[in-house]
C-alpha cells in the first residue's frame, strides 16, 4: 500500500492519527458517554430488526390478536430509546470535536506568535489563517466525527449481523462471502480520494491567498486598472478549483454507486439462497423479512464507513500540516541573562545578515557602537539595509555572522522578553490593533499604565490635538488596523506608545515621515527630551533630524560606507554630501 501523503513528510498517517487521538484524551468521558449512547442505539436498532419476524409471522400469517397492541407499542418504544441514545451520542461527540478544534486553534495561534520573523517571509498570513480555520475543523472531524461514525455504524452492522445469524446462518455466511469485493472497491475509492482531496485543499489555500492579495490592495488594483489581470489570475485558480472539486464529486458519486450495486448483487444472492432454504422449510416468511431488513440496514452503514476513510484522510492531511507548524522551532530563546533595565550600550561587530533564500546579504560587515545618551542616525538610499539593521536589535532576525552586544553581552545571552523590554520601536509600517486609542497606546505589557501616563504620552507625541477632536477621545475605536485614522495620526499613536514604554533603547524607522513639518518639529522636541538618558537609533530622510545626531552612519548596499558627524561627512564630499546636496536642492526648488 502506498501512502501518498507520506511524500515529503516524516510522520506516517497512522502515527499522525495516534498523535491526533492524544488530543481527544482530555475528553474521554464525553467519548465514553457517546459510546454508551451508540451501544444503546445499536441495541434498539437490532431489537427492531428482531421484531420484523413476529410482525410478519404473527400479525399477517397467524393473525394473532395478542400481538396487535404490544408490537406497535414496542416499535414506538424502541425508537424513543434510539432517539434519546442518538442524541446523547451526537451531543457528547460534538462537544468533544469542537473542543479539540478549539484546542488546536489556540495552540497553533500561540505557536505562530512565537515563530521566528523569517517564517513570516516564507509563509503568507493567509495560509496561516487556513491552518487556524478549516484545518483545525477538519482535524476535529477526523479525531471525533469519524470515530463516531465508525462506532455507530460498526455497532449497527454487528447488531444486524447478530439478528441475521440468529435467524439463518446459511444465508448470513453467503452474505459474508459477498462482502470482500465490497471492501476492495471501498479501498480503491479511498485511495483515489485521498490523492484528490489533498490537492483540493492546496487549491483552496491558493484561492484565498489570491483573493486576500487583490482585496487588501484594492486601491492599487483600481488605480492601476488591474481588475482584469487580477480576475484572470483568480478565475484561473477558481477554474482549477472547480476541476478538482468535480473530480472529488465524481469519485464520491462513483463510490456510492459502486457500493449500492454491490448491495443489490448481495440482495440477489440472498434471495437465491433464501428461496432454497424456504423450500427446505428452514426459513419462515417473517425470518426472511427480518434478514432482508437487516441487510438493508447494513448497506447504508457500510456506505457511511467508506466515507469515514475520506474523513480520516482529510483530517490526517490537515493534522500533518498543523503538526508541522507545532513542531517547527520557536524563535531561539536560550539566553538566561536577566536584565531589569539595561544601560543601552549597543555594539555591532562585523555583522552580516541575509534573508532566507537570498543571494547577496542584506547587511555586510557592519560595525558600530551606539552609546547611551547619544543619537545615531542611519541614512542611505532605499533598500540599502537600514531597516534590516535595526530589526536585528530586538532579534526579529538573527545575523549570519558577527556579533551584536548589549551592555557587553551578546544579544542571544539575554532572555528574549527581557531584551525586548529594553527597546521602544516605531517601525516603518505602523500597525495598530482593532481597539480604542487608549488600548493601542497602553499596549501589551503596558496595559496597566495609568490614565495620566497615557495622556502624557499622547500629548508628547503631539497627538492630543486630534484625539481631543474625536467624540470619544481616548476611548475612540481606531478600526481594523487603525483604518479610521490618517497615516500621520497612526504614526503619532505609535510614537506615543514608544514614549509610554520609556525604554533605554529607542529605535525610530522613518517614524515621523508622514508628519507635516510643524507636527514633526513638535514630536522631535518631545523625542529630544526623551533622548538624553537613552540610546537612540533613528532612520530618517530629513536633514533636521540628522544634523543633531552624534554620529551618522551612511549605508549603501548593506555596508556602512561613511560615518561621522553631519559636518565631517559634508566635508568628506562623498555619498552623504551627495544625498545632502540633492535634498538641499529639492527644498529650495519646491
Ligand atoms: N523580509 C525580507 N525578505 C527578503 N528580503 C528582504 C526582506 N526585507 C528586506 N529585504 C531586502 O533587503 C534589502 C534591504 O532592505 P531594507 O528594508 O533594510 O532597506 P531600507 O534601507 O530600510 O530601505 P527603505 O529606505 O526603502 O526602507 C533590500 O534589498 C530588500 O529587498
Ligand atoms: Mg526601511
Instruction: Report pLDDT digits (tens) over 411-427.
Output: 999 999 999 999 999 88
Distance 564 CA to ligand 2 centre (A): 21
User: 348-402, pLDDT tens digit by residue?
Assistant: 999 999 998 888 999 999 999 999 999 999 999 989 999 999 999 999 999 999 9
Residue 183, pLDDT > 80, answer: no
Q: Is 361 in the pocket of ligand 1 (CB under 6 A)?
A: no
Number of alpha helices (DSSP H) and beta strands (DSSP E) in the chain: 21, 10
- Banded pLDDT at 44 (limits 50, 70, 90): very high
* pLDDT, position 92: 92
Residue 9, pLDDT > 70, answer: no
Whose cell is 517614524? That residue is 511
Q: Is 383 in the pocket of ligand 1 (CB under 6 A)?
A: yes
* pLDDT, position 368: 97
| Ion ligand 2 contact residues with beta carbon within 5 A | 387, 428
Based on the number of CB atoms within 10 Å of its own CB, is 472 exposed (0-12), middle (13-18) or buried (19 or more)? exposed
Residue 7, pLDDT > 50, answer: no
Whose cell is 455466511? That residue is 173
* pLDDT, position 182: 66
Beta bridge partners of 90: none
Strands 505-509 and 423-426 turn out to be parallel
Residue 144, pLDDT > 70, answer: yes
* pLDDT, position 62: 85
DSSP string, 315-378: HHHHHHHHHHHHHSPPSP----B--SS----EEEEEEEE--TT-SS-SEEEEEEEE-TT-EEEE
* Structural domains in the chain, sorted by start: 12-327 (1.20.1560.10), 332-422+537-590 (3.40.50.300)
Q: Which of the pair, 531 or 20, is modelled with greater confidence?
A: 20
Task: In whole angstroms, give the CA distance from residue 439 to residue 238.
Answer: 40
Of all protein residues, the one whose alpha carbon is nearest to atom 19 of ligand 1 is 383
User: 119-140, pLDDT tens digit by residue?
Assistant: 888 888 888 898 898 899 888 8
Average pLDDT over residues 244-260: 80
Residues in the chain: 590
Task: In whole angstroms, give the CA distance from residue 384 to residue 397.
Answer: 17
Kindly report the backbone phi and psi dihedral angles of residue 557, in degrees, each rounded to the nearest multiple of 5, phi listed first: 45, 45
From the list 98, 194, 111, the residue with the least C-alpha distance to 137 is 98
* pLDDT, position 192: 74
Q: Which ligand is nearest to the CA of 391?
A: 1
Q: Is 428 in the pocket of ligand 1 (CB under 6 A)?
A: yes
Distance 359 CA to ligand 1 centre (A): 13
Task: In whole angstroms, give the CA distance from residue 370 to residue 551.
Answer: 9
Based on the number of CB atoms within 10 Å of its own CB, is 8 exposed (0-12), middle (13-18) or buried (19 or more)? exposed
Distance 4 CA to ligand 1 centre (A): 39
User: 186-220, pLDDT tens digit by residue?
Assistant: 667 667 777 777 888 888 988 998 898 889 888 88
Of all protein residues, the one whose alpha carbon is nearest to atom 29 of ligand 1 is 383
* pLDDT, position 172: 84
- Banded pLDDT at 88 (limits 50, 70, 90): very high
Strands 346-353 and 401-406 turn out to be antiparallel
Is residue 401 helix, strand or coil? Answer: strand
* pLDDT, position 4: 33
Proportion of the chain above pLDDT 70, given as a percent: 95
3-state SS of 490-559 is HHHHHHHHHHHHCCCEEEEECCCCCCCHHHHHHHHHHHHHHHHHCEEEEECCCHHHHHCCCEEEEEECCE
Q: Which of 115, 357, 380, 384 to probe ligand 1 with, by most ligand atoms within 8 A of CB?
A: 384
Q: Which of the pair, 581 or 37, is modelled with greater confidence?
A: 37
User: 487-538, pLDDT tens digit by residue?
Assistant: 888 888 998 999 899 899 999 998 777 777 777 777 777 777 777 789 999 9
Proportion of the chain above pLDDT 90, given as a percent: 37
* pLDDT, position 306: 75
Q: Is 120 in the pocket of ligand 1 (CB under 6 A)?
A: no
Q: Which of 386, 389, 427, 555 to probe ligand 1 with, by most ligand atoms within 8 A of CB?
A: 386
Q: Which ligand is nearest to the CA of 385?
A: 1
Q: Is 385 in the pocket of ligand 1 (CB under 6 A)?
A: yes
Residues 6+ apart with CB under 8 A from 178: 262, 265, 266, 269
Q: Which of 387, 540, 542 to probe ligand 1 with, by most ligand atoms within 8 A of CB?
A: 387
Do residues 4 and 195 touch, judged by C-beta distance below 8 A?
yes
Distance 297 CA to ligand 2 centre (A): 68
- Banded pLDDT at 8 (limits 50, 70, 90): very low
Residue 305, pLDDT > 70, answer: yes
* pLDDT, position 105: 93
* pLDDT, position 298: 84
CA 133 to each of CA 112, 313, 329: distance values in angstroms, whole numbers, following the listed order: 14, 18, 22
CA 451 to each of CA 446, 472, 476, 490, 500: distance values in angstroms, whole numbers, following the listed order: 11, 15, 15, 20, 11
* pLDDT, position 399: 94
Q: Is 153 in the pocket of ligand 1 (CB under 6 A)?
A: no
Q: Is 356 in the pocket of ligand 1 (CB under 6 A)?
A: no
Of all protein residues, the one whose alpha carbon is nearest to atom 18 of ligand 1 is 385
Q: Which of the pair, 577 or 583, is modelled with greater confidence?
A: 577
Q: Which atom of ligand 1 is least distant from the CA of 363? A: 14
Residue 24, pLDDT > 80, answer: yes
Q: Which of 351, 362, 508, 556 to probe ligand 1 with, by most ligand atoms within 8 A of CB?
A: 362
DSSP string, 422-481: TEEEE-SS----SSBHHHHHS-GGGTT--HHHHHHHHHHTT-HHHHHHSTTGGG-B--GG
Average pLDDT, the chain: 86
Residue 1, pLDDT > 50, answer: no
* pLDDT, position 487: 83
Kindly report the backbone phi and psi dihedral angles of residue 552, in degrees, each rounded to the nearest multiple of 5, phi listed first: -120, 130
Task: In whole angstroms, give the CA distance from residue 506 to residue 375.
Answer: 9
Residues 6+ apart with CB under 8 A from 510: 428, 539, 540, 541
User: 317-352, pLDDT tens digit by residue?
Assistant: 889 989 999 999 999 888 999 999 999 999 999 999
* pLDDT, position 389: 96
* pLDDT, position 545: 75
Beta bridge partners of 536: 375, 506
Task: In whole angstroms, give the CA distance from residue 555 to residue 563.
Answer: 9
* pLDDT, position 80: 95
Amino acid at each position: 500500500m502506498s501512502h501518498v501523503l507520506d511524500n515529503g513528510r516524516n510522520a506516517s498517517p497512522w502515527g499522525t492519527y495516534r498523535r491526533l487521538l492524544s488530543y481527544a484524551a482530555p475528553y474521554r468521558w464525553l467519548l465514553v458517554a457517546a459510546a454508551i449512547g451508540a451501544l444503546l442505539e445499536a441495541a434498539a436498532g437490532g431489537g427492531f430488526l428482531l421484531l420484523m419476524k413476529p410482525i410478519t409471522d404473527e400479525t399477517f400469517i397467524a393473525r394473532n390478536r395478542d400481538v396487535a397492541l404490544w408490537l406497535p407499542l414496542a416499535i414506538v418504544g424502541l425508537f424513543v430509546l434510539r432517539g434519546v441514545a442518538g442524541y446523547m451520542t451526537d451531543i457528547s461527540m460534538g462537544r468533544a470535536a469542537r473542543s479539540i478544534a478549539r484546542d488546536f486553534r489556540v495552540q497553533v495561534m500561540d505557536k505562530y506568535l512565537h515563530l521566528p520573523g523569517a517564517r513570516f517571509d516564507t509563509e503568507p498570513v493567509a495560509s496561516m489563517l487556513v491552518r487556524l480555520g478549516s484545518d483545525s475543523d477538519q482535524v476535529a472531524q477526523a479525531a471525533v466525527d469519524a470515530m463516531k461514525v465508525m462506532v455507530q455504524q460498526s455497532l449497527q452492522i454487528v447488531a444486524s449481523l447478530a439478528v441475521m445469524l440468529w435467524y439463518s446462518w446459511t444465508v448470513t455466511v453467503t452474505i459474508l462471502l459477498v462482502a470482500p469485493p465490497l471492501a476492495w472497491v471501498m479501498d480503491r475509492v479511498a485511495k483515489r480520494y485521498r490523492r484528490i482531496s489533498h490537492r483540493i485543499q492546496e487549491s483552496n489555500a491558493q484561492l484565498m491567498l489570491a483573493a486576500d492579495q487583490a482585496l487588501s490592495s484594492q486601491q492599487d488594483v483600481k488605480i492601476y486598472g488591474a481588475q482584469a489581470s487580477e480576475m484572470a489570475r483568480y478565475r484561473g485558480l477558481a477554474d482549477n478549483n472547480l476541476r478538482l472539486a468535480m473530480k472529488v464529486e465524481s469519485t464520491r458519486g462513483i463510490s456510492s454507486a459502486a457500493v449500492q450495486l454491490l448491495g443489490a448483487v448481495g440482495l440477489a444472492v440472498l434471495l437465491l439462497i433464501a428461496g432454497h432454504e424456504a423450500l427446505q422449510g428452514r426459513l419462515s416468511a417473517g425470518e426472511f423479512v427480518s434478514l432482508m431488513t437487516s441487510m438493508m440496514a447494513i448497506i447504508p452503514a457500510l456506505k457511511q464507513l467508506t466515507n469515514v476513510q475520506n474523513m480520516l484522510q482529510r483530517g490526517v492531511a490537515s493534522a500533518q500540516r498543523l503538526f508541522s507548524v507545532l513542531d517547527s522551532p520557536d524563535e531561539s530563546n536560550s539566553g538566561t541573562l536577566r536584565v531589569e533595565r539595561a544601560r543601552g550600550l549597543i555594539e555591532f561587530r562585523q555583522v552580516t545578515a541575509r534573508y532566507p533564500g537570498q543571494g547577496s546579504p542584506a547587511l555586510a560587515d557592519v560595525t558600530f557602537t551606539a552609546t547611551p545618551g547619544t543619537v545615531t542616525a542611519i541614512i542611505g538610499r532605499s533598500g540599502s539595509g537600514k531597516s534590516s539593521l535595526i530589526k536585528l536589535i530586538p532579534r526579529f532576525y538573527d545575523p549570519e555572522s558577527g556579533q551584536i552586544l548589549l551592555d557587553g553581552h551578546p544579544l542571544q545571552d539575554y532572555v528574549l522578553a527581557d531584551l525586548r523590554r529594553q527597546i521602544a520601536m516605531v517601525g516603518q509600517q505602523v500597525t495598530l490593533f482593532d481597539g480604542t486609542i487608549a488600548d493601542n497606546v497602553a499596549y501589551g505589557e503596558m496595559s496597566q499604565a495609568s490614565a495620566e501616563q497615557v495622556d502624557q504620552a499622547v500629548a508628547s507625541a503631539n497627538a492630543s490635538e486630534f484625539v481631543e477632536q474625536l467624540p470619544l477621545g481616548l476611548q475612540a475605536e481606531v478600526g481594523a488596523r487603525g483604518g479610521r485614522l490618517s497615516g500621520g495620526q497612526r504614526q503619532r499613536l505609535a510614537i506615543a506608545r514608544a514614549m509610554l514604554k520609556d525604554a533605554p533603547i529607542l529605535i525610530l524607522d522613518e517614524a515621523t515621515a508622514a508628519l507635516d513639518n510643524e507636527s514633526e518639529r513638535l514630536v522631535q522636541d518631545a523625542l529630544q527630551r526623551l533622548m538624553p538618558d537613552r540610546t537612540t537609533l533613528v532612520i530618517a530622510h530629513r536633514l533636521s533630524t540628522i544634523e543633531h545626531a552624534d554620529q551618522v552612519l551612511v549605508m549603501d548596499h548593506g555596508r556602512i560606507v561613511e560615518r561621522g558627524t553631519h559636518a565631517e561627512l559634508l566635508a568628506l564630499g562623498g555619498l552623504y554630501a551627495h544625498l545632502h546636496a540633492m535634498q538641499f536642492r529639492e527644498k529650495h526648488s519646491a
